[in-house]
Amino acid sequence: MTTPDLNLLVTLDAVLAEGSVARAAKRLNLSPSAMSRALARLRETTGDPLLVRAGRGLVPTPRAIELREQVGQLVSEAQAVLRPAQILDVRQLARTFTLRTSEGFVECFGPQLLARIEEQAPDVRLCFLQKPDKDSKALREGVVDLETGVIEPSTAPELYGKALFRDHYVGVVRAGHPLARGEMTTARYAEGRHVMVSRTGEDKGPIDDALLAEGVERRVVTIVGGFSMALGLARVSDLIASVPERHTENLRQGMHSFALPVPTDAFTVSLLWHPRFAADPAHRWLRGLIVEVCAERE
């Protein structure tokens, strides 16, 4: 059996990522003719045209789309293996890291994390981005360095993850709300007016499933896209917000929180990153810092 030329993986990665022979050639510092010859070898090796003409441009074949993520991961891991070991001096590190996270995480863990960064690496800057959806495209494309979230079956399988903390839902009302006094029952909770948090606009969730099992429904009068908005409304009205306890610890200051009268499953919030950053010393340092800060709030 002929040993495959593993150098073709780098070429294939560039071709699939760029979707253009000219751009792939520029990325690899090759001449257009050399890149065309390499593409011809790739087509022969894979038995697929990979890129085909569509008008003035090129589009990937189904086989090329299938290979894109796998090849990118293989090249990234190979580069990490062959990269010389580095001794990181975080005091000299000047870099901006981007963390995509859901509402509440920044308010709860941001101050301690930023203080720790300032102490250890004063020239490092952290950019927090809101997480409007669960799509991992930003991680895969390197637009963000890290992301927090719950690992689900739909999470991209190539991503690495590290558990940060366990969380569960609690009910929250303004100080002086009628529900702040007396025993919390399923009926009292369900009869109130609720603000629901949903990034997709759905009006049902795990709490509604638990209530339905008890034979009751809650009255959702408004839907918002984030925890702080839900708590902001509940703080100045009689609305009831149901939010993750640890994620919203700081946001709930001055409000009355209570255990939900129906059982709901706890969930694990994890830190996620793409394999391209797995061996990066600076990235490893920041990941460790985030894990430490979250652990201290247990």
CA-derived radius of gyration, the chain? 25
- The verdict on residue 1 lying in a domain is no
Q: Which two tokens stand for residue 36?
A: 């065309």
- The verdict on residue 48 lying in a domain is yes
Q: What is the pLDDT of residues 39-66, one digit of tens each?
A: 888 888 888 888 888 877 788 888 888 8
- The verdict on residue 126 lying in a domain is yes
Residues 153 and 191 in one domain: no
Range of the domain at 258: 169-265
Can you give the pLDDT at residue 84?
A: 64
Last residue of a domain, one of 55, 82, 109: 82
DSSP for 138-171?
Answer: HHHTTS-SEEEE---TTS-TT-EEEEEEEE-EEE
Q: How far apart are the first and last CA of the chain?
A: 56
Whichever domain contains 152, its CATH number is 3.40.190.10
Average predicted confidence (pLDDT) for the chain: 88
* Sheet of strand 240-244, all strands in order from the earlier edge strand to the far edge: 219-224, 193-197, 240-244, 169-173, 256-259
Q: In the beta sheet, which residues pair with residue 219?
A: 193
Can you give the pLDDT at residue 183?
A: 93
Please give, one letter per residue, the 3-state secondary structure of 225-236: CCHHHHHHHHHC
Can you give the pLDDT at residue 83?
A: 67
- The verdict on residue 180 lying in a domain is yes
- The verdict on residue 206 lying in a domain is yes
Residue type, 130: Q
Lowest mean pLDDT among 52-61, 170-179, 222-231: 52-61
Q: What is the pLDDT of residues 239-288, one digit of tens each?
A: 999 999 998 998 999 999 999 999 999 999 999 999 888 888 999 999 99
User: What's the number of domains the chain is made of?
Assistant: 3
Of 193, 88, 104, 194, nearest in space to 149 by CA: 104
**CB contact at 8 A, 216 and 267:** no
Residues 120 and 251 in one domain: no
Q: What is the DSSP letter of 39?
A: H
Last residue of a domain, one of 59, 82, 105: 82
Q: Are strands 57-60 and 51-54 parallel, antiparallel or unpaired?
A: antiparallel
Residues 65 and 113 in one domain: no
At what angle are helices 7-18 and 32-46 packed, to 10 degrees? 100
CA–CA distance, 18 with 25 (Å, rounded to integer) = 10
Q: What is the pLDDT of residues 175-213, one digit of tens each?
A: 999 999 999 999 999 999 999 998 888 888 999 999 999
Q: Are strands 267-273 and 160-167 parallel, antiparallel or unpaired?
A: antiparallel
